[in-house]
Amino acid sequence: MADLYSRVTGHPAGAALTKRLGLPQPATLRRGRRWPGEAIALGAVGGGDIAARTLHLLGLPVVPAVHDAGTEGPKDGAGSADSVPAYAERLGALVLDATMARTIADLEQVRAMLRPALKALGPSGRVIVVGVAPHKFSDVQASAVGQALEGITRSVGKEMRHGGTANLVQVADSTAEGTASTLAFLLQGRSAYVSGQPLRVGNDRHAEHPAPRPFEGRVVVVTGAARGIGAAIAEVFARDGAEVVTVDVPSAGDALAGVANRVGGMALQLDITNPDAGQVIARHVAERFGDRSEGQGRIHAIVHNAGITRDKLLANTDATRWAGVLEVNLQAALRINEALLDPWSPGGLADGGRIVNVASTSGIAGNRGQANYAASKAGVIGATRALAPHLRDRRITVNAVAPGFIETEMTGKIPVATREFARRFNSMHQAGKPVDVAEAIAYFADPASSAVNGQVLRVCGQSQIGA
Amino acid sequence: MPPPSHDDHADRAAPRVPVIVGGNRIPFGKAGGAYAAVSNQDMLTSTLDGLVARFGLSSERLGEVAAGAVLKHAKDFNLTREAVLGSTLHPTTPAYDLQQACGTGLEAVVQVANKIALGQIETGVAGGVDSASDAPIAVSDGLRAALLTASRAKTLGQRAKALAAVRPRDLAPQTPRNAEPRTGLSMGEHQALTTRSWAVSRQAQDELAAASHHHLAQAWESGFFDDLATPYLRLTRDEGVRPGTSVDKLGALKPVFGRGEGATMTAGNSTPLSDGAALVLLAEEHWARERGLPVLARFVDAEVAAVDYVSADEGLLMAPAYALSRLLERHGLALQDFAEYEIHEAFASTVLATLAAWESEEFCRDRLGRSAALGPIDRDRLNVHGSSLAAGHPFAATGGRIVATLAKSLAQRGPGSRGLVSVCAAGGQGVVAILEAV
């Protein structure tokens, strides 16, 4: 399971050899709640100012973005690197506010600010373009320009080097308060393995301010927590202050106890496919946290992470393999939600709570031998989008992450050639870690992310597989 | 960060009620089975960590942990404390070992409950562990004496002389025997005498054994143990449970204890040698409620009795019959006042002989000093989730298994439901206790 190639390129001799062969050089990614180590440049097209106000709210100092004049240099050296105005220092990030971009001509300013920045960005650098969600425009050209930003960001993501990422934030009647958690996530190391993705932020002027330990005293339930991504989710929530209730099947209770004790949480051995699993979770939370949690014995966030694979070509898939995957990965989560969303049930989901689902890139693009799995994970995406608008009055958000190739026991079973291909064929030239998925989940679950709803975020290093 | 303290909120004015919060055990393994390669300390530590995880006690300091093992290596002189240090509990949690043969687990529960009632602690863990697979093997007294003398020797000559005293027969290792030192009879042989004197039939013994397997299998199947057990070393259910066994199948087994016509005790209706560990979390009721911990049942009271089996005045495993009588008397209760009975199945005939004794007017009058028989119990209330014949009997672990199982079962029946625990032990002793759902 060890990523041998990354160990080779990590060694000076191996790095020299692989560089000469023109092979990709996986970088060590900046992770966790670390801000960029170098300056954050801020630029805007026209008078866009939501990015500036959001960065101000986050207390982040910025330097003005350098503009490429757009005029070519002396004829003999047309477009040469020398003619591009350069930053005086290394850049940690460029935040580009394109919310006022309306015409195709406006896109030139986007190019003019991206070009010098891309040359100045340091390791694990960030490009964050802030645009308006295209559907907000009735004007065709403005809408086309909004969509063009996505094409630019996705391409820049593929051009980034040394662990850098490029992402697009699409705002729609958004406030700086509502946008803060998203910009913070994208700037910090938490988004290490998220690149080339659009994230939509809605409208919430009462969003909480992002805090370093946003889940202090709040109850978070994580299913499938005994190992892999689930264990990492439990760890990240515990790091950020949550009272974590870890759930897994009784037969995994040994590993589950290890995780629960490591994060100072509780282990609940429970088969989530039991018809009353949701009620069992609610009862457990009501009893254990009745008087002593922030949410008065209710759940702040439930993370539906439990999942299984029963891979076979569809031609060889029987009803049992089909049903088992759909039952665990999709049906159980829907049933648990139903129980936890009962506002009168003690131990249910609190108002202002969060539902975070774990989908998969297989659910977006399909995968050979995974029709059952892809059905369940695409179903998760469908359920996320369908449920999200209905819970607005209770200020509950529903979002999903779609992990790509993550190093876990489960992906360790993939044949070696396929695995190596999946590891390299993405913009980061490496597989993600369970913590990368966990960070994205915690971002959605953050009380400050109240303006982020119905989103499906790929955590795949901009994988070209399952794109 | 200072260790969190649990024990400085004692409110001495309010009555202090020790309650069972919950329990954890690992599935019991067959001797030489799944746990053959692990030690008592491994099993006890893992069981403790499972308990800690269930109740979110990681890094907490508890009042104490009391546990023991019957088959114990000399190096395990501080077994329970070592388990605590190896667990995720705060290292400032005190611990001690205690031992009362098969009564160890239940006696540990009594001890912790009493300390809670007295206000000495607010919460504690009690139980035990045993490995028949990893039994200690000792050297003979002759070899031991020679080695000790040699170690005290000052000269090479003295040392050589001491070692020369070793005889070939001294080199044979000594394994622990399941025999009473004062009678030389094994526990099975002792019970065979009791079985005969109470005329317990083979059929009745096999029926009890089959019921134990069926009840236990059903409890696993229904998820009853989901919050009472944590898998260990890939064992997710008790290794010895046989859902498919029947009175017919059990009836085909040859007797192993007793002789001739009257021999009725087989490997099927006697407890197998086993490996495993079980622990119970106890706490003062208000303390538990304040912390959102479950309150399954009140620990009401306990009584320990011993009989003179050496002079054959009474059967080796009959002490619980006496203990129970005294306990009922103290509380003004009848034998029929219980929703459930947990009588440890050392042998099927132990349970049946005990029940027969309580039904016998002669026994209750002459032995217990009662005016009438204690009477029969409703057999549907006996060992409803299976017992040692099916689960196995890692000696010191059995008390913890029974107390946690019974407490949960009583809680499901509702407040006021009363349960009886009875555990017989080597040395002619017996521990009984009463639990009551709150």
DSSP string across A10-60? HSHHHHHHHHHTT---PPPPP-SSPPPSSEEEEEESTT--HHHHHHHHTT-
Shortest CA gap A328–chain B (Å): 18
Question: How far, in Å, CA of A235 to CA of B379, rounded?
Answer: 49
Nearest CA in chain B to A269: B226
> Does A75 or B362 have the greater pLDDT score?
B362
CB A332 within 8 A of CB A272: yes
A422-446 tens-digit pLDDT: 888 899 999 999 999 999 999 999 9
The total number of structural domains in chain B stands at 1
Q: pLDDT-derived band of residue B178, with 50, 70 and 90 as boundaries?
A: confident
Partners of B232 on chain A (C-beta within 8 Å) are: 254
For residue B198, tell me if it sits in a domain: yes
Instruction: Provide the annotated active-site residues of A.
Output: 373
Nearest CA in chain A to B233: A254
Considering Cα of A311, then A317, then A318, then A322, what sign does the dihedral take?
A: positive
CB A247 within 8 A of CB A328: no
For residue B78, tell me if it sits in a domain: no
Question: How far, in Å, CA of B265 to CA of B191, rounded?
Answer: 9
pLDDT, position B265? 95
User: What would the two tokens of residue A425 be?
Assistant: 């064929």
Mean pLDDT of B183-196: 91
- Cβ-in-10-Å burial (0-12, 13-18, 19+) of A77 comes to exposed
Beta-bridged to residue B284, according to DSSP, are B18
| Coil/strand/helix, residue A357 | strand
Rounded to 5, what percent of chain A is helix, strand, coil? Answer: 45, 20, 40
pLDDT, position A78? 47
Question: How far, in Å, CA of A214 to CA of A239, rounded?
Answer: 10
Question: How far, in Å, CA of A303 to CA of B301, rounded?
Answer: 44
Give the range of the structural domain holding residue B363, as residue numbers without chain letter. 187-222+300-437
A274-286 tens-digit pLDDT: 999 999 999 999 9
Partners of B56 on chain A (C-beta within 8 Å) are: 243, 260, 264-266, 288
Q: Is A261 on the interface with B (CB under 8 A)?
A: yes
Partners of A222 on chain B (C-beta within 8 Å) are: none
Question: How far, in Å, CA of B151 to CA of B284, rounded?
Answer: 51
Say which of B6, B102, B190, B364 is annotated catalytic. B102
In the predicted model, is pLDDT for residue A295 greater than 90? Answer: no
pTM of the model: 0.91
CB contact under 8 A, B226 and A260: no
Q: Where in chain A is the domain with CATH 3.40.50.720?
A: 4-14+22-30+38-68+89-201, 219-459
Q: Of B53, B226, B290, which is closest to A270 when you measure between CB atoms?
A: B226
Helix axes B348-359, B187-197, angle to 10 degrees: 40
Partners of B46 on chain A (C-beta within 8 Å) are: 254
Mean pLDDT of B127-152: 87
User: What would the two tokens of residue B261 be?
Assistant: 């016509």
CB contact under 8 A, A254 and B88: no
pLDDT, position A416? 84
Mean pLDDT of A300-319: 96
Residues of chain B that touch chain A, judged by Cβ-Cβ distance less than 8 Å: 46, 49-50, 52-56, 58-59, 88, 223, 225-227, 229-232, 236, 290-294
Average pLDDT along chain A: 92
Mean pLDDT of B325-353: 98
Cα-based angle B153, B156, B159 (whole degrees, multiple of 5): 45
Q: Judge: domain A4-14+22-30+38-68+89-201, CATH 3.40.50.720.
A: yes
Nearest CA in chain B to A274: B223
In 3D, which of B12, B14, B73 has the Cα closest to residue B44? Answer: B73
Q: pLDDT-derived band of residue B165, with 50, 70 and 90 as boundaries?
A: confident
- CATH number for the domain harbouring residue B390: 3.40.47.10
Residue B404 identity (one-letter amino acid)? A
Number of residues that make up chain A: 467
pLDDT, position B4? 46
For residue B84, tell me if it sits in a domain: no
Is 0.85 exceeded by the ipTM?
yes
In the predicted model, is pLDDT for residue A467 greater than 60? Answer: no
The CATH superfamily of A219-459 is NAD(P)-binding Rossmann-like Domain (3.40.50.720)
Percent of chain B with pLDDT over 70: 97
Percent of chain A with pLDDT over 90: 81
> Does B157 or B95 have the greater pLDDT score?
B95
For residue B348, tell me if it sits in a domain: yes
- Number of CB atoms found within 10 A of residue A38's CB: 18
In the predicted model, is pLDDT for residue A196 greater than 80? Answer: yes
Q: pLDDT-derived band of residue B354, with 50, 70 and 90 as boundaries?
A: very high
- Say whether B364 is catalytic: no
Cα-based angle A220, A205, A453 (whole degrees, multiple of 5): 45
Nearest CA in chain B to A291: B292
Q: Of B56, B223, B290, which is closest to A265 when you measure between CB atoms?
A: B56
In the predicted model, is pLDDT for residue B258 greater than 50? Answer: yes
Number of residues that make up chain B: 438
Average pLDDT along chain B: 94
DSSP B87: S
pLDDT, position B136? 81
Partners of B225 on chain A (C-beta within 8 Å) are: 250
Q: pLDDT-derived band of residue A384, with 50, 70 and 90 as boundaries?
A: very high
Mean pLDDT of B425-429: 95
